[in-house]
Amino acid sequence: MPKAIPHTAMYLAAGLGERMRPLTNNRPKPLVQLAGRPQIDYALDRLRDAGVRQVVINLHYLGAMIRGHLQARGQPEIIYSDESTRLLGAGGGVVKALPLLGDQAFFVHNCDSFWRDDGGTMLRRMAEIWDDARMDALLLIAKLDNATGFGLPGDYFMEADGKLRRNREKSDAAPFAYCGVQIAHPRLFANAPQGEFSTVELWDRAEQAGRLAGIELDVHWFHTGTPEALAAAEQFLNSARQT
């Protein structure tokens, strides 16, 4: 029997997008266009196609523009987590939104992660290998030679059983980059720091407990966090459409 797909997700949209300037001078990073569409639309379509029914989006910088853009969207259902008074980072943003995310595992999707549309296939693969009994977080990772916009060093090593070990020594031998998408269980955020913090702190704790796993993305991944990386993704996408 197929495993259930997480039906909720968090899309991280609150950041200032400083590395994406000047494109974010007058719009939030999720609304910067890639091949004629705002980046947020690709991610929401992917989550919808994978079976996600509800997405929590955190808002800070130019959040009203995101609300306006998504006002007419049908699926998935959108709920907002307001961070207008204080930016909380990826970790703090999820902690604030936990009451909206439920008590089961959920996806977390960064706003600067792109790969060619696959109809939600990769997210469904993540759900297939997710194991509540063995994992607190499952990270989508890509080999550095299958990634654009990231660079050295890699974030993680992956063991034969899929468990991850962070590259704390900043070794150039670490082959994998985190792709900005994970499945997380609410228990990952138990006793989390207050205020703004990075989820890396919690992944380290899960790693030490043997509960941090990875799955490799098998198509080319783009970290679209700068204008240069965005242009490379757009060139790739336009070329793919012509083939």
Is 1 part of a structural domain of the chain? no
In 3-state terms, what secondary structure has residue 3?
A: coil
**pLDDT computed for residue 3 by the predictor:** 63
Is 72 part of a structural domain of the chain? yes
Give mean pLDDT, residues 114-136: 90
Bridge-based pairing of strands 137-143 and 176-184 is: antiparallel
Q: How many domains does the chain have?
A: 1
d(CA 10, CA 78): 10
CATH number for the domain harbouring residue 109: 3.90.550.10
**Which residue range is the domain that position 191 belongs to?**
8-241
Q: Tell me the pLDDT tens digit for each residue of 139-189.
A: 999 999 999 888 779 999 999 999 999 999 988 889 999 999 999 999 999
Is 85 part of a structural domain of the chain? yes
Give CA separation, 47 vs 40, 113, 116, 229, in Å.
11, 13, 14, 23
Q: Tell me the pLDDT tens digit for each residue of 42-89.
A: 999 999 999 999 999 999 999 999 999 999 888 999 999 999 999 999
Is 2 part of a structural domain of the chain? no
Asked if residue 94 lies in contact with residue 199, where contact means CB atoms within 8 angstroms, the answer is yes
Q: Tell me the pLDDT tens digit for each residue of 206-216.
A: 999 999 999 99
1 has pLDDT over 60: no
